[in-house]
């Protein structure tokens, strides 16, 4: 194959977490996969170390389709030092040694957020040779794959294959609905409308999720990218309902303007 292609991935797991700007003891998740998280999965599949350059991956354009939004889960727990000593503070002394909390603090609280039972289709557009190597790596990963955090391994095969000379939006329309069997059984209509986001220089939205590195020593800085939102309609495999005026009116009202917010 020559020119460009699109690699499609199925991102499904009991838990996923696509980190945003949150830090320290409150780690939030975005409602859909981030470019940083997806490129990190690809880098892990190839066996790249955290210090290895990811420059060749940054030019890949990302599209994401929300096949099953899932629900938000908050993991709340406390932590302390097993020796019964005060917890360290965020400050360091002149020698660079982390100091203890003052007054002493023996118990801390951490909150981490996850998406549970979510399913996404991610599509990456770029040069064929690079995507061929990435597709092979996803099918034969060097390091374990995970969806945002190491505690979130994917369910089932990740790669949905490579499409030559394809466009992101067209691919997100062409890939069959990937929702779970339970979710599919809940939908009684012949079609389902799904939210999607496509990386587009002319897009009217900005996502701050393009990493410069994964090196823990230097930390990661995030750049912006332009995206646009769209809705795609896919067949569910169920027969179409009889066409009546009442049904046509109900179908017109099926569009929910709050669905984008996850309500």
Residue-range domain boundaries for the chain: 4-72+114-261
262: left (phi over 0), alpha (psi -120 to 50) or beta: left
Cis link prior to 103 (omega < 30° from 0)? yes
pLDDT of residue 60: 97
Residues 6+ apart with CB under 8 A from 103: none
pLDDT of residue 1: 45
pLDDT of residue 207: 94
pLDDT of residue 110: 87
pLDDT of residue 96: 77
Query: For residues 218 and 221, what is the distance between their CA atoms, to the nearest angstrom?
Result: 9
* Residue whose entry in the numeric block shows the structure tokens 């309500």: 263
Comparing C-alpha atoms, which of 170, 183, 178, 181 is closest to residue 232?
Answer: 170
Query: For residues 38 and 225, what is the distance between their CA atoms, to the nearest angstrom?
Result: 15
pLDDT of residue 195: 97
Rounded to the nearest 10°, the torsion over CA 175, 176, 180, 181 is -160
* Residue whose entry in the numeric block shows the structure tokens 């991610």: 122
Residues (pLDDT < 50) of the chain are: 1, 248, 250-251
Query: For residues 69 and 66, what is the distance between their CA atoms, to the nearest angstrom?
Result: 6
pLDDT of residue 246: 52
Query: Exposed (0-12), middle (13-18) or buried (19+): which is 120, by Cβ within 10 Å?
Result: buried
Decide yes or no: CATH 3.30.70.2660 for domain 4-72+114-261.
yes
Residues 6+ apart with CB under 8 A from 212: 220, 221, 222, 223
């Amino acid at each position: 194959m020559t020119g460009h292609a699109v690699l499609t991935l199925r991102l499904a797991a009991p838990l996923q977490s696509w980190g945003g700007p949150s830090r320290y003891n409150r780690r939030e998740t975005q409602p859909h996969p981030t470019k940083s998280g997806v490129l990190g999965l690809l880098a892990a599949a190839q066996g790249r170390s955290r210090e290895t350059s990811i420059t060749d991956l940054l030019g890949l354009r990302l599209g994401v389709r929300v096949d099953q939004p899932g629900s938000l889960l908050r993991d709340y727990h406390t932590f302390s030092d097993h020796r019964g000593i005060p917890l360290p503070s965020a400050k360091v002394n002149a020698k660079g040694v982390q100091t203890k909390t003052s007054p002493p603090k023996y118990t801390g609280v951490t909150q981490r957020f996850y998406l549970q039972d979510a399913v996404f289709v991610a599509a990456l557009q770029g040069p064929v040779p690079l995507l061929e190597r990435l597709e092979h790596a996803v099918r034969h990963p060097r390091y374990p794959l995970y969806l945002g955090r190491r505690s979130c391994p994917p369910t089932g095969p990740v790669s949905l294959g490579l499409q030559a000379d394809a466009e992101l939006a067209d691919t997100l329309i062409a890939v069959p609905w990937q929702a779970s069997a339970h979710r599919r059984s809940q939908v009684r209509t012949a079609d389902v409308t799904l939210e999607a986001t496509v990386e587009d220089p002319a897009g009217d939205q900005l996502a701050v999720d393009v990493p410069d590195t994964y090196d823990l020593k230097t930390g990661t800085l995030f750049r912006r990218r332009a995206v646009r939102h769209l809705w795609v309609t896919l067949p569910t495999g169920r027969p179409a309902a009889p066409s009546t005026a009442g049904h046509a009116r109900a179908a017109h009202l099926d569009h929910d303007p709050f669905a984008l917010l996850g309500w």
